[in-house]
Amino acid sequence: MPIRALSLPKVIGHRGAAEAAPENTLASFREAKRQGALWVEFDAKLSADDRAFLLHDDNIDRTSNSAGPARALSYDEIRQLDSGSWKGSQFAGEKMPLLAEALSLFAQEGIQFNLELKPCPGRARETARIILDELGHLWPAAKPRPLISSFVLECLEIARDTAPDYLRGLLLEDHPANWLDLAQNLKVDTVNIWDQMATPEWVSEIKGAGYGLLVYTVNDAARAKQLIEWGVDGVFTDAPARILAAVGQ
């Protein structure tokens, strides 16, 4: 059972404020804060030259003006891409930021965060090691500890073994029968589940086992309110202001 005290928000901006701004960009994080979010969630992976940057997908097609696998590009090549115009002309020229740039913004703006380790295919081990090492060097020790999450068990094993002071979150897309064994083995602090899998019974089970519980991705205010009433600690949302209006801080 987890023994670390948790202070989780009711609302976490998913990839910033992804409904209003291009996801996983500095503009999106600023927008999340403007909407009232105290926490944001984002995805980090490695470029071909092992630089940590922010992107959810394996490919750059959906969120840039180019196409192809992210793992094939150096960060200098990634930096040349327009990663904002797909969302709106006002975001033209927005970049996929380095992890270092995002951390600098969070430290300046007092934003807490959930970093999801999102490795390119076949790159789980180096992704976790390099990103956690960079985080350890760049994130001020006096700031609140971040939450490190992943769907990739190997990434969470490395986080457990090499960065034990950080909070850890087990991301689940389905409802595995052995979820508790996984959580205990990985020594996680939170279990982060998909909204479509959330039921009152499973919420009660996770909370009864002593874990923090976060649900993704909840953009409907009534659903967010229901989940909080069931005992969920917080929800990830693309629309922080709308959900905050329903459930508060």
CATH of the domain at 182: 3.20.20.190
191 belongs to a structural domain: yes
State how many domains the chain has: 1
List, by residue number, the catalytic residues: 14, 56
Check residue 1 and give its pLDDT: 66
158 belongs to a structural domain: yes
Mean pLDDT of 120-138: 98
3 belongs to a structural domain: no
Q: Is the pLDDT of residue 82 over 80?
A: yes
**Is residue 118 a contact partner of residue 156, using CB atoms and an 8 Å limit?**
no
154 belongs to a structural domain: yes
Q: Is the pLDDT of residue 2 over 80?
A: no
Give residue-wise pLDDT tens across range 42-62: 999 999 999 999 999 999 999
Name the pTM for this structure: 0.97
2 belongs to a structural domain: no
189 belongs to a structural domain: yes
Percentage of residues in the chain having pLDDT higher than 70: 99
152 belongs to a structural domain: yes
Name the residue range of residue 25's domain.
Answer: 11-247
Check residue 176 and give its pLDDT: 98
Strands 147-150 vs 190-194: parallel, antiparallel or unpaired = unpaired
